[in-house]
A and B are shown apart, each in its own frame.
Chain A
Amino acid sequence: MKNNILNVFSLLLLFGLLQSACSGGVKKDYKAVDIQDLAKNQTEVHGTEIKEGEIEFKNPLNADMVKGGQNIFDLKCNACHRLTSEKLVGPGWAGVTKRRTPTWIMNMITNVDMMLEKDPEAQKLLELCLVRMPNQNVSKEQARDIIEFMRKNDGEQ
């Protein structure tokens, strides 16, 4: 039965092809290009992976970066994260710089899709929170400022 339908279908295809072959001299004045890539590379930034060792830390903390990080927190993060250990939508930030490596945190901020696809710890968090950490269009530099603010929040000087 299935085979029979397949046969009819292939016959149809075959004769469809025969037909267009006979129409001859088809002129293409429009060149189709691969447009699947076109929606990429736009204002909404998905960062590239940040590797271990790319980020440097110094003490004392950089006050400007701490301030910058706090401003981003107020605008883009505190809707879901508290500075205590209380879980709201996402986990509270208290102690996060002790629990996670800085690259892990930065990738979670700038590279959420990659992390949720690959990183077992990130996947565990999704199971716990049930809301995907949103891409908040934070640049690598801004993410670094956020880390500085988190370090401050964790009591570093």
Chain B
Amino acid sequence: MNKEIMIFKRMQLLSLFGFVLFATFLMNACKPKGIQTAMGGDAAVKAYVPPGKYDEFYNFVSGGFSGQMSVYGLPSGRLFRVIPVFSVDPEKGYGYSEETKPMLNTSHGFVPWDDLHHIALSETDGVHDGRWVFGNGNNTPRIARVDLKTFRTAEIIEIPNSAGNHSSPFITENSEYVVAGTRFSVPIGDKQDVPINTYKENFRGTVSFIGVDPASGKMHIAFQILLPGVNFDLARAGKGKSHGWFFFSCYNSERANTLLEVNASQKDKDFVLAVNWKKAEEYLKAGKGMKKQVKYAHNSYDEQTHSASSSMENEVIVLDPKDCPDMVYFMPCPKSPHGCDTDPTGEYIVGSGKLAAVIPVFSFTKIQAAIAAKNYDGDYEGIPVLKYDAVLHGEVKKPGLGPLHTEFDANGNAYTSFFVSSEIVKWRLSDLQVLDRVPTYYSIGHLCVPGGPTKKPWGKYVIAYNKITKDRFLPTGPELAQSAQLYSIDGDKMKLLLDFPTIGEPHYAEAIPAELLAKNSTKIFKIEENKNPYVAMGEKNAKVERKGNEVHVYMTSIRSHFVPDNIEGVKMGDAVYFHVTNLEQDWDVPHGFAVKGANNAELLIMPGETQTLIWKPERVGVFPMYCTDFCSALHQEMQGYVRVSPANANVPISFSTGKTNPAPTNQ
């Protein structure tokens, strides 16, 4: 076939293709769309952010079992940053540099990994204020606070009397508290070594209220509430009229300790726990709390010393509902509730029974009336159970299969994710009518409307975070990408705009308008304010010092050399501390530092910062070191050598940059 004919055939094909599209659009143009047309015709335009333009929202997405938090732009789905939180990150030296190691200290010692599930952006008056973002460590119970000026982890607090910190961090409307509810109930107190099948007698749950200092963001455990041994799952603070209350979903009211899949699915209803935390504060003030001896780590990072410190704390105050009436109530909620979400007005609390055929919506007004009238359905382990019908606003009937989580827009609508039927269902809070449904690909877990958990949802999009992506992306072996999907919610119908893969496994996420954060972003650390004890303030102060078996290298880096870059006098058995100060004062000019054979990682040092890498040479020789972050045209020249001599050698400490001395004859 000659070339012309081939081109002609292709043109024919294209025209045919165009015609089919044309016809399809004609057919669809002005008729209501159903489930089939999830994909918006203008999807590309709506998700497109041209090169050089900023996105409209930052999306903070939990990294699940990666232990980190990722930052995407919306609507583009572009990944900007992975913030190391609970897991070490050799790329950034996080958890490897001497300055950052204390961040991952716990009462169990150094823990290099965790499972980060949920995100909570700080709020003032129920609206995002753009100061901090919190994340929970699920495995070794912790809460982290990330500073939104630097996009770095500023603080991590361990939660004692807890196991499986799933019901966390969720935040109150003025960031008074973040919370931590135990997914696993465990033996609490001195008697720890008990048979597992004594669960009902010995195992208890707790919910912890972690106070957040309004100026500095510093966390402290204000109090814990001792509760029956159920599994706390998710939580939300009340807001507006329900400010002062917190709601926790719980399952396993059967209190099973084995084969929960079956044994914790026996009862028709489990609970949502309603906590009156203002009341708890009163009891705390009145001295009703018991001081319990515990052990937990509290770590924070100082941006002036560029160093973390870790302290071990040993006391926590526990409130027991037995001594504190009217502080906690259970509300029956169908079939193993998961999500427990409060709407922007604070009136409605949406429970999502994973195995339920309805979505129950509770009314805060009715809850208050039921409490006042003591309209109880008995008690559970001494805690009053409110009558289901008395607190119910209503049920969304036949919404879908496996409801998990609900987010809200500013127009009185709710968006619920359905894991089993892989869809997002939009429904109206006032009359509980289903308005629209759209498929997700596949098995959606959490979802996010920008500002969805606040009093002022920004709306515009809903993002689905999916567990399964089979057939959506190119295959990559047995493990496939997990993903997010962006839908427009501007119109009456939700429209799919974009798929983008995520890191780790995404659970909860929040999104915040870019203008609330971009203007505050730190560009450099001022070198004049560097208070690291090992800083080299300018090349004049670069030096190498021996202290017994430790060799401290006070090193500087600037485009494109280290001072010193020739070091001799290190001996076998020494621990060499490279304290590298980046003298740059220009945005986006980090320097890296790596030395051959180091058993830890590299350093990545921001402008004006000092970071330390410890290196224990295990053989004699000359070892190269170099800058790992392409910094200038002469980056490849940014290198040096360290000489390591035998332990009994006679080589004195010496160091230089830019000097070539004549080779000595006998060293």
Q: Which residues of A contact B450 (CB under 8 A)?
A: 30
Q: Which of A55-63, A114-122, A130-138 contacts B (4 or more CB under 8 A)?
A: A130-138
Q: Show the binding face of A for B, using Cβ within 8 Å.
A: 1, 4-5, 7-8, 11-12, 15-20, 22-30, 32-33, 35-36, 38-39, 41-44, 74-76, 78-80, 88-89, 130-132, 134-138
**Interchain CB contact under 8 A, B22 and A15:** yes
**Interchain CB contact under 8 A, A25 and B537:** no
Q: For chains A and B in complex, what number of residue pairs have CB atoms within 8 angstroms?
A: 158
Output the least CB separation between B561 and chain A (Å).
7
**Interchain CB contact under 8 A, A39 and B18:** no
**Interchain CB contact under 8 A, B585 and A135:** yes
**20 pairs, CB–CB < 8 Å, chain A vs chain B:** A4-B11, A4-B18, A11-B18, A16-B45, A22-B29, A23-B491, A29-B457, A35-B54, A35-B518, A43-B524, A74-B537, A75-B537, A75-B538, A76-B585, A79-B556, A88-B658, A89-B559, A135-B587, A137-B585, A137-B586
Residues of B544-571 whose CB lies within 8 A of A: 556, 558-561, 563
On whether A38 and B459 interact (CB within 8 A), knowing A5-B14, A26-B490, the answer reads: no
On whether A38 and B515 interact (CB within 8 A), knowing A18-B29, A30-B458, A134-B558, the answer reads: yes
**Interchain CB contact under 8 A, A131 and B11:** no
How distant is the Cα of A15 from the Cα of B29 in the complex, in angstroms? 7
Apart from A24-B491, A38-B54, list 7 A-B contacts with CB within 8 A: A15-B26, A16-B42, A27-B490, A29-B459, A80-B559, A89-B561, A131-B632
Q: Which residues of B contact A33 (CB under 8 A)?
A: 515
**Interchain CB contact under 8 A, A131 and B634:** yes
How distant is the Cα of A100 from the Cα of B13 in the complex, in angstroms? 67
**Interchain CB contact under 8 A, A19 and B634:** no
Question: Is B584 on the interface with A (CB-CB < 8 A)?
Answer: yes
**Interchain CB contact under 8 A, A29 and B518:** no
Q: Interface SS of chain A: helix, strand, loop or mixed? A: loop
On whether A23 and B492 interact (CB within 8 A), knowing A76-B527, A76-B583, A79-B561, the answer reads: yes
Question: Is B473 on the interface with A (CB-CB < 8 A)?
Answer: no
Output the least CB separation between A128 and chain B (Å).
12
Question: Is B528 on the interface with A (CB-CB < 8 A)?
Answer: yes
**Interchain CB contact under 8 A, B30 and A22:** yes
Q: Which residues of B contact A137 (CB under 8 A)?
A: 524, 526-527, 585-586
Encode contact with A along B43-66: 1 for CB under 8 Å, 0 otherwise. 001000000011010000000000
**Interchain CB contact under 8 A, B14 and A44:** no
Output the least CB separation between B629 and chain A (Å).
14
Residues of B498-537 whose CB lies within 8 A of A: 513-515, 518-519, 521-524, 526-528, 537
Question: Is B17 on the interface with A (CB-CB < 8 A)?
Answer: yes
Q: Which residues of B contact A24 (CB under 8 A)?
A: 491
Question: Is B619 on the interface with A (CB-CB < 8 A)?
Answer: no
Output the least CB separation between B517 and chain A (Å).
9
